[in-house]
Amino acid sequence: MTKVDGFVKAGFEPVRDLLEQHLSDGSDVGASVAVRVGDEVVLDIWGGSADASGTRPWERDTIVNVWSTTKTMTFLVALMLADRGELDLDAPVAKYWPEFAAAGKADVRFRHVLSHSAGLPGWQEHLEREDLADWEKCVTLLAAQEPWWTPGTASGYHLVTQGYLIGEVVRRITGQSIGQFFQREVAEPLGADFYIGLPESEEGRVSLVIPPKGVDPASVNPTSIGARAMASPNLTKTGDAPHERWWRAAEIPAANGHGNARSVALIQSVITNRGEVNGKRLVGEATVDRVFESQINGTDLVLGVPLNFGAGYGLGSETIPVGPRTCFWGGYGGSLIIMDQSSGITFSYMMNKMFEGLIGDTRAMSLLMTTMGAASLL
């Protein structure tokens, strides 16, 4: 049995045992799990290998590309600006970014961007993967683009575009890139080891993700919104992009954040704790409540399953039945962060071995269920 390192509060040993099982049977290669109850860390564990060949152990400070779990950091930044009165979630995006009003988007609200209902889940023009490092090109094309459906009427998961849409509004308001704002206003004050745009100085700690085979293009209707969203750039074969320095260095705020379970849990416990963590208030309680107000609920036009979105974060739906004061999101390959205000639990799982497909990975859910079961017995 592969042993893991870290801290486990009495009663949470079954979570450690399950991660050890996953590492031993090959379900995981290297991974970290963190659980907080309020401000108390009840579990902070890691183990396995930081590389596919098994030559580097996953250490306490190992970090990994967490894919769309990065989106939760952009949601928090937006909520902070809203709480300060600098961003109105109900206002048109064009209030802050005038060029965005082009092509019939004058009435697209910022909350539509947060809830994946802005109608811009991909780029109409062809992009190469490396174009994602060109911020001006990405946002200029989105500003000029016509929505693919009537904004506000349905969600269509904005796989990569959402980060640029939120990030450009942040840049217009603050004069800083979203990665810079996040680092100065969130990561550094909290002492959280998470980056949107990885400094070269941190490269030695990175565990490169182990990508899946990717989506078979033949299995997807090429004219569907989902296929179009993944076609530019070709996101069916992007699993190995984090192996390239340009990807890690760029700010791709919906997809290329680097951190581990500890740092993600620390930051997102701000939501669990109604705006405050370790005595530091980032957001007011009333603003955090906006997270739990459903903005769009129904079959997602990109992912093809019923989803319910609040202010960015996912809420309970028939696909993911969680409680009314629980929100979450995860990343391509399996990472997951979930915040449950009712129990005070923040659960985080970050790993390097990616699951095949965009949804359906059971590793994080089994660890989460074990965590909730352990907490209920205390």
Measure Cα distances from 177 to 78, 145, 189, 376 in Å.
13, 22, 17, 42
Burial class (CB in 10 A: 0-12, 13-18, 19+), 222: exposed
Integer Cα distance of 97 and 82 in angstroms: 16
Integer Cα distance of 237 and 232 in angstroms: 11
127: left (phi over 0), alpha (psi -120 to 50) or beta: beta
Is 353 within 8 Å of 28 (Cβ atoms)? Answer: yes
What six digits make up the tokens of 334? 């399996």
What six digits make up the tokens of 212? 């899946």
| 232 among known catalytic residues | no
What six digits make up the tokens of 178? 């979203």
Integer Cα distance of 370 and 367 in angstroms: 5
Q: Phi first, then psi: what are they for 18, rounded to 5°? A: -70, -40
Q: Which of 68, 207, 335, 348 is flagged as catalytic?
A: 68
Q: Catalytic site residues? A: 68
